[in-house]
Structure 1
Amino acid sequence: MNIVLSGYYGFNNVGDEAILYSIIQALRANDPNVGITVLSNDPTYTEKTYGVKAVNRWKLPEIFKALKSADGLISGGGSLLQDETGPKSIPYYTGIMKIAQVLGKPVFVYAQGMGPIHKPFNQKIVKSVLKNTQVTVRDVASKKLLEDIGLNHSIKIVPDPVMGLTRKDTSSRWWTEQGFNGPVVTVSVRDWPSSVDYKKKMADALDLLAKDGNTIVFVPMHGEHDDKTSKEVAGMMSAKSYVSPYDDSIEQKINIFGQSNLLIGMRLHALIFSAITVTPFVALSYDPKIDAFAEISGQQVAGHVNVDNWSEQELYEDAQRVLVNEEAEKKRLEDKIGPLQKQAAETASDAMEYFKR
């Protein structure tokens, strides 16, 4: 079987690369001989990193050729079908699906987070294209959005693909070299337009945690973008903190979260990495997907970066409460996450069965 994968791949975003890695891993667990071609912004990197074929996601002749010889297209995961961050995402990803449909290839929408879809025209495009696909989404809000725009066929809710990731024992050389002693609080922060000075609030809360004897370690999840923001927040702190290498591998970042005692995080896949290592987290939300994952994980959202109704003291107290009750929090997280990890691996099996039919 030959499968084409379409998503936000090859852009040096650890979260999306983790999605790709986990889908490839799950497909190969079902069929070690499966052929996989990824539509990538950086085909050379994708081929070298994951041992798959890759073609340029912007070159239509290459896309046509890959789809023509495929048994099916997987679209996802991630938040692909939304018009919040720009006008191009929906036309691009639905366009890829439409090409597959014209070529007579089945399309499987894989654990996507849907929306927001503000423009009525975009809603019509999504409805038109997705009515001829098998759809799985990663949360209740995504399913409701699709139902609200008129999709009335079966929509299955499944965990984010990264939940099914099988961890490798890949240590971070950087972490080992630091020789940290005592509890460590990891931090995932991203830049986000807001009238709320959430970065300063985070910095002040982290200073309070450092004063209690916690080591503060920033973990950039989106290359140089998050590296810059991490250093910006670290520069606002009075206490010493650390920023881990932005170009660490997925496995190395997972290892860092796994060795920490708590994550304070904005990035969804930082929260997921934390969850699969049974490391409790306190989330700061900028998007409904953060609230949704915190809810299913039984973890707290301390505040929203666009709503000025939380303080650095409250964020500190939320984090301190988790640290004091760390073992109980880990047990609660493990109970919530265990079943989701098994379900996440089953999505790949559903996709392959769909293509066979």
Structure 2
Amino acid sequence: MHIVLSGYFGFDNVGDEAILLSMITSLRKLQPEVELTVLSNNPAHTSSTYGVKAINRWKLKEISSILKRADGLISGGGSLLQDQTGMKTIPYYCAIMYLAKYHKKPVFVYAQGMGPINHSISQMITRKTLNKVDQITLRDEASRQLLVDIGVKKPMSIVPDPVIGLNPTDFRSSWLDYQAFEAGFVAVSVRDWPSEVDFKQKIADSLSRLAQAGHQIVFIPMHDEHDEKASFQMAQMVPEKTLVAPGNLTIEEKIAIIGQADLLIGMRLHSLIFAAIQTTPFIAISYDPKIDAFAAIANQPNIGHVERDDWDGKQLFEQAQTMLQARESIEAALRDQITVLHEQAQHTAQLALDLFNGK
């Protein structure tokens, strides 16, 4: 069986690369001989990293040729169909799905998060495309409701984010092995986001209080140089000593570091997911509905939104202290939840294989 994978791959975004790793791992676990071709912005790196075939995601003629010979297309996961970051994103991913349907190949939408889809042209393209695909799985109820609202008629099921299907038991970080912490540490994932509210100062204030209380602060950049820059900027806002992990650490290393933390304070969705699969308590800081949705799924607190001025550093610090004191019970509750979600995430891969096998 030959499957083509389409997503935001090859851009050094840890969240999307973790999605790719988890999908590949789950598909191969169920069907070891499966042949996978990934549409990537950096085909050489994708191929060498994951042991798959990879082609340039921008070469539509080559993509069409591959799809013609393949058994099906997986589109996902992540937030592919949204127009907040630009008007070209939805037309691109929908064009790939249209190419697959042109060649009469089944299309499986894999645990995607939808939206925002603000413009009428984006809604129309999304509606027409998804009403032609064969199976739609989504990672939250808000995504399903959005598609219903814009006129998607296909049945849709809610499944966990693919990354929850990873088993991080053997993940290690050589960088972390060289650090000598006197006690535990608090991991932090931040990103830039346009806001009239000085949310970075709020976070920095809370981190300063945590450092004064004896907690080492370790920033984990999730999107390589982008988040690395934001992490160093925030580290400079904290008077006490902090550490910034290298942005180019592997996915496995970043998951391992978060797994060793006493607590994660995170903006990036997949930093929260990494914490959940490692049963590390976390506090979410929202910039997008997907953050709110996952915090609710994991039953972890969302301290506030980066564009709202209804929270401060003192509240974030107090929430962190409360969770650190109740760490063992929170970890136990997370472990029970993630065990169920892990099995469900594996099942999504089975649904895709069943579709491509004609079941």
TM class by shorter chain equals over 0.9
Q: What residue is the counterpart of 2:112 in the other structure?
A: 112
Does residue 250 in structure 1 map to residue 231 in structure 2? no
Contact 1:258 1:277 in 2 (8 A): yes
Does residue 64 in structure 1 map to residue 64 in structure 2? yes
Which ranges of structure 1 fall in alignment gaps of 5 or more residues?
none
Contact 1:80 1:93 in 2 (8 A): yes
Q: What residue is the counterpart of 2:330 in the other structure?
A: 329
Contact 1:168 1:251 in 2 (8 A): no
Range moving further from structure 2, 296-305 or 334-343: 334-343
Q: What residue is the counterpart of 2:132 in the other structure?
A: 132
Deviations 1:208-236 (A, max 9, x none): 00111100000000010000000000000
| TM alignment of 1:176-191, pairs within 5 A | 176-191=177-192
Does residue 209 in structure 1 map to residue 210 in structure 2? yes
Query: Aligned partners of 1:144 and 1:337: how far apart in 2?
Result: 24
Q: What residue is the counterpart of 1:198 in the other structure?
A: 199
Deviations 1:77-134 (A, max 9, x none): 0000000111111000000000110011110000000011001111111111111211
Equivalent pairs: percent with the same residue? 56
Does residue 13 in structure 1 map to residue 13 in structure 2? yes
Does residue 122 in structure 1 map to residue 93 in structure 2? no
Deviation of 1:336 after TM superposition, in Å, equals 2.0
| TM alignment of 1:269-348, pairs within 5 A | 269-348=270-349
Query: Aligned partners of 2:105 and 2:349: how far apart in 1?
Result: 17
Q: TM-score under structure 1 normalisation?
A: 0.99
Q: TM-score under structure 2 normalisation?
A: 0.98
Range moving further from structure 2, 61-70 or 293-302: 61-70
Q: What residue is the counterpart of 2:157 in the other structure?
A: 156
Runs of 4+ aligned residues of structure 1 deviating over 3 Å after TM superposition are none
Q: Give the SS at the match of 2:178.
A: helix
Does residue 266 in structure 1 map to residue 267 in structure 2? yes
Q: Give the SS at the match of 2:258.
A: helix
Which one-letter code corresponds to 1:80 in the other structure? L
Q: What residue is the counterpart of 2:173 in the other structure?
A: 172
Which one-letter code corresponds to 2:145 in the other structure? K
Which one-letter code corresponds to 2:153 in the other structure? N
Deviation of 1:61 after TM superposition, in Å, equals 1.9
Query: Aligned partners of 1:54 and 1:30: how far apart in 2?
Result: 21
Which ranges of structure 2 fall in alignment gaps of 5 or more residues?
none
| TM alignment of 1:58-97, pairs within 5 A | 58-97=58-97
Deviation of 1:161 after TM superposition, in Å, equals 0.2
Does residue 24 in structure 1 map to residue 24 in structure 2? yes
Deviation of 1:248 after TM superposition, in Å, equals 0.5
Deviation of 1:166 after TM superposition, in Å, equals 2.0
Q: Give the SS at the match of 2:136.
A: strand
Instruction: Number of aligned residue pairs: give it.
Output: 357
Query: Aligned partners of 2:65 and 2:180: how far apart in 1?
Result: 51
| TM alignment of 1:210-225, pairs within 5 A | 210-225=211-226
Contact 2:87 2:122 in 1 (8 A): no
Query: Aligned partners of 2:172 and 2:278: how far apart in 1?
Result: 13
Contact 1:5 1:76 in 2 (8 A): yes
Query: Aligned partners of 1:68 and 1:179: how far apart in 2?
Result: 54
Query: Aligned partners of 1:89 and 1:226: how far apart in 2?
Result: 22
What is the aligned-residue RMSD (CA, Å)?
0.8
Q: What residue is the counterpart of 2:38 in the other structure?
A: 38
Contact 1:298 1:336 in 2 (8 A): no
Which one-letter code corresponds to 2:239 in the other structure? S
